[in-house]
């Protein structure tokens, strides 16, 4: 969080305590909010310290502090999976057969890169950053299937035309580990397995 925003939150909190002191004759002093604490630690940790101190004297401040602490929690804007692959170039080719595009690569020779589809992106790392491993069980779900045989990453990819994509995957010779099926949770899904044991739950909602 920028220093200016931290300072603004602290100032707002001090003003709140002053008003509370004047209205309720609270014995709590707003000087407990020390600037050096704010600069030496994250505001989140400082607000936790302040929260504990205030609750001992004036429980009515708790609601305000809870809102303050929540405002400092992490707000994720995006998440990008990273897959450990045995061969970066072969993985680029595999994703292109699935319908994704190669976005970029890094290194000489490249050992890290990215593939994308629509607004989604996946990072690929050759021989690092996670685990991989294709199991010896053909199916993921269903009779005789196993959800633990493959040692790669599982992730769900949402699409609009699951059955059309299934036909495409079959035509491309991709490993369909679970055919399109209407699931009890009102999702129609199939599973596509990457050669390194990563499983994609291709899903379409509201069947």
- The tens digit of pLDDT for each residue in 48-70 reads 555 555 554 455 566 666 666 66
Does residue 135 sit in the same domain as residue 33? no
Contact 109, 123 (CB under 8 A): no
Q: What share of the chain is helix, strand, coil (3-state, %, to 5)?
A: 40, 25, 35
Q: Tell which of 17, 40, 71 closes a domain.
A: 71
Does residue 92 sit in the same domain as residue 174? yes
Does residue 61 sit in the same domain as residue 91? no
Q: Is residue 176 part of a domain?
A: yes
Of 205, 155, 162, which is closest to residue 185 (Cα–Cα)? 205
Q: Is residue 76 part of a domain?
A: no
Does residue 112 sit in the same domain as residue 133? yes
Q: Is residue 60 part of a domain?
A: yes
Whether the upstream peptide bond of residue 109 has omega within 30° of 0, thus cis, is: yes
Does residue 96 sit in the same domain as residue 12? no
Question: For residues 169 and 175, what is the distance between their CA atoms, to the nearest angstrom?
Answer: 8
Contact 144, 137 (CB under 8 A): yes
Question: For residues 102 and 122, what is the distance between their CA atoms, to the nearest angstrom?
Answer: 10
Output the pTM of the full model.
0.67
Does residue 63 sit in the same domain as residue 86? no
Does residue 50 sit in the same domain as residue 89? no
**Domain span holding position 22:** 3-71
Q: Tell which of 50, 71, 92 closes a domain.
A: 71
For the record, the structure tokens of 69 come out as 């602490």
Q: Is residue 146 part of a domain?
A: yes
The total of other beta-carbon atoms located within 10 Å of residue 185's CB is 8
Q: What is the pLDDT of residues 107-132, one digit of tens each?
A: 999 999 999 999 999 999 999 999 99
Question: For residues 18 and 13, what is the distance between their CA atoms, to the nearest angstrom?
Answer: 9
Name the percent of the chain lying above pLDDT 90: 57
Question: For residues 119 and 162, what is the distance between their CA atoms, to the nearest angstrom?
Answer: 18
Does residue 177 sit in the same domain as residue 90? yes
Q: What is the pLDDT of residue 206?
A: 77
Q: Tell which of 71, 103, 119 closes a domain.
A: 71
Contact 47, 69 (CB under 8 A): yes
Question: For residues 207 and 23, what is the distance between their CA atoms, to the nearest angstrom?
Answer: 59
Of 32, 72, 34, 35, which is closest to residue 56 (Cα–Cα)? 32
Does residue 48 sit in the same domain as residue 103? no
Report the CATH number that the domain containing residue 102 is assigned in CATH: 3.10.180.10
Number of domains in the chain: 2
pLDDT confidence of 172, banded at 50, 70, 90? Answer: very high
Average pLDDT over every residue of 137-145: 91
């Amino acid at each position: 969080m920028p220093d200016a925003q931290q300072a603004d939150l602290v100032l707002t909190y001090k003003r709140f305590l002053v008003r509370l002191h004047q209205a309720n004759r609270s014995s709590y002093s707003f000087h407990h909010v020390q600037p050096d604490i704010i600069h030496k630690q994250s505001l989140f940790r400082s607000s936790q310290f302040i929260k504990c101190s205030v609750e001992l004297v004036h429980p009515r401040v708790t609601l305000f502090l809870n809102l303050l602490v929540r405002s400092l929690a992490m707000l994720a804007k995006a998440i990008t999976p990273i897959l450990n692959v045995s061969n970066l170039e072969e993985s680029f080719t595999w994703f292109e057969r699935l319908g994704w595009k190669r976005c970029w690569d890094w290194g000489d020779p490249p050992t890290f890169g990215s593939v994308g589809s629509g607004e989604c992106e996946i990072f690929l790392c050759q021989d690092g950053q996670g685990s991989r491993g294709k199991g010896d069980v053909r199916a993921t779900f269903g009779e005789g299937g196993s959800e633990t045989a493959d040692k790669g990453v599982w992730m769900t990819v949402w699409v609009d035309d699951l059955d059309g994509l299934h036909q495409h995957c079959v035509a491309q010779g991709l490993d369909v580990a679970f055919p399109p099926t209407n699931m009890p949770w009102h999702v129609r899904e199939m599973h596509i397995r990457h050669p390194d044991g990563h499983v994609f739950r291709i899903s379409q909602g509201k069947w």
